[in-house]
Amino acid sequence: MPVSLPSWVRPSHLVVLLIAVLVAVACSGGDSDGGQVSNDLAADQEFRLRIAGDPSTFDPQLASYAEEISIAKQIFRGLFTYDADLNVIPSVAITVPTKDNGGITEDGLTYTINLRQDATWSDGVPLTAHNFVYAFQRLFDPEGGGQGYYFDFYTAIAGGEAFAYEDGSAEAVAVVALDDYTLEIELSRAQPTLPTLLALWPAAPLRGDLIDQYGDAWTEPGNLIGNGPFVLAEYAPEQRIVLESNPLYWGDDQPTLDTLIYKIIPEDSAALIAYENGELDMTAIPLADSSRYQGDSEQIRYAELETFALQYNHTQAPFDNPLVRQAFSRAIDREAYVSAIRSGVGQAAVGWLPPGMPAANPGVGIDLAFDADAAAGLLSQAGYTDGADFPDVTFTVLSDPTNDLTAQFIQEQLRQNLGINIDIESVEETVFFDRYFETDFQVTWLSWFADYADPENWLPQQFATDGAFNVLGYSNEDADALFEQAAVELDTTKRLALYDQAHRIIIADQAITPIFHPERNYLVKSHVAGLATTALDAEPGDWFTPSVQILETGSAPPASDPE
């Protein structure tokens, strides 16, 4: 029998451990900000942040990953945007249409939106309704936005789906300019969340003349003309992206910053050292370093709309049996998980909808929370008393140090509390997603992150029998009926109540087993003021970058102690 070493003795883990110790020793040397922070603005309004990878595009219709989305949000502004509480507020539009103000017809199918007449592009050209018409036609174009991830969110717009599926045409997309400053959008089915979708980056206006002129090169610095608070000034692939404030920005949220620099630093610990050396104003705290920075004056920590869960293949034994899934849920001590594996950063989860999401309810799933005795009882009901005769199960995870530790934790919990032994399989990212979307696994570990704050983005797509992201093969007629009603229910209270009911069904069935809600854990220099975070950030504070200010350091006036 081969002797297996404890996991932490593996070379890769040792290296991580060694580096954590080294960085800890080096960085414990006190304040790196170099002096007192005053209340005066610094002469140099430059905000430097770290991204881990190169954005593959600046095209707002193709931007799909955090760094791409975060940059697109600075360069473009759509009809609407969000306030600090994620309510939809006007941006290029004058008002948010409702039935009461006559902006939405009684059947909920036609939206009339009036635009500001003072909005311009960063090259001074006036921004009109025609720019939105062009952008929505391109959004569904198989050669434009139709190659991206997000156009699918907007297919309630009449003619959109047909164009994307290649038997429609651009002209048939039902977004029309009634005049230069009035836009009309017609839907083929009611979509109560349309205003919030129109506040997202894929719904930004675009310059058809420039895209025709430059082709694929339209997103290069100099060619890329946006209508947001910042413009793209420099792109050095794999090194940095520099944005500068847009002097022609027309919005009420005028930026204080002159320059926004995204430095590409792939290695987490190198980024932390860069931050400690004063080369960055903001960076994420690597998990291995989180206990060291807990309570640090430069730490910001806040909830995001994300849930990690055990996900089951419902089409095969043993996970086609709800009793087995329930037993798993009751066998896992989430509090212990968060403190042992996540250094206490995050919240234990028993429900799928994260706190802060409309219709989220902390009571959902409480009855299936950790309880080792109840877990053993459920497994025995399922016919596997004390884990006897339990089939071979492989737990498939995307290979990374945190996921590997997570898998070992879950494996140990199931062994202790249910008496079953599962195997762990750690798979490279590309292979993992290839297999995940083909449902080629028994049980796996993955999170879902909100694109927008509505349960519509979290329940029907994953759990409706014909949902676009129903990878698990879950099916429940009652839930399906609720999804159908909710999809077209225009009354918000009723709509959220329907989703709450569906959420309860899914958790009672343990379609997935939620384990925890992660949190953002960042370091921000004390000379950075006005960073306004939301649960829906791609990078911290990126909905409100114009409010960020850099304060003067070092030359603070002599301390006049208030005491």
Q: Which residues make up the interface to another protein (CB under 8 A)?
A: 15, 18-19, 22-23, 25-27, 29, 53-54, 56-57, 64-65, 142-143, 146-149, 151-152, 164-166, 216-217, 219-220, 236-240, 263-267, 269-271, 273-274, 276-279, 428-431, 433-435, 437, 468-469
**Closest separation between CB of residue 16 and another protein, Å?**
11
Token pair, residue 133, equals 């018409």
Closest to another protein by CB, 16 or 324: 16
Helix-strand-coil split of the chain, %, nearest 5: 35, 20, 45
Q: How many CB atoms lie within 10 A of CB 294?
A: 14
Looking at beta carbons only, is 8 or 433 nearer to another protein?
433
Q: CB of residue 52 vs another protein: minimum separation in angstroms?
A: 10
Which lies closer to another protein via its Cβ, residue 420 or residue 523?
A: 523
Cβ proximity to another protein: between 100 and 167 the closer is: 167
Strands lying side by side in the sheet with 549-553 = 37-41, 549-553, 528-529
Q: Give dist(CA 283, CA 278) in Å, integer.
A: 11
Least distance (Å) between residue 142 CB and another protein: 4
Nearer to another protein, 65 or 302 (CB): 65
CB of 265 to another protein, least distance (A): 5
Closest CA to 335 of 324, 325, 347, 323: 347
* Neighbour-count burial of 486, counting CB atoms closer than 10 A to its CB (0-12 exposed, 13-18 middle, 19+ buried): buried
Task: Quote the least distance from Cβ 176 to another protein, whole Å.
Answer: 24
Minimum CB distance to another protein smaller for 3 or for 25: 25
Minimum CB–partner distance for residue 476 and another protein (Å): 23
496-516: buried (b, 16+ CB within 10 Å) or exposed (e) per residue?
A: bebbbbbbbbbbebbbbbbbb
φ, ψ dihedrals at 338, nearest 5°:
-60, -40
Residue whose C-alpha is closest to residue 231's, from 210, 201, 258: 258
Instruction: Say how far apart CA 67 and CA 53 lie, in whole Å.
Output: 8
- Distance in Å, CB of 272 to another protein, minimum: 8
CB contact at 8 A, 126 and 120: yes
Residue 214 or 409: the one with the smaller Cβ distance to another protein is: 214
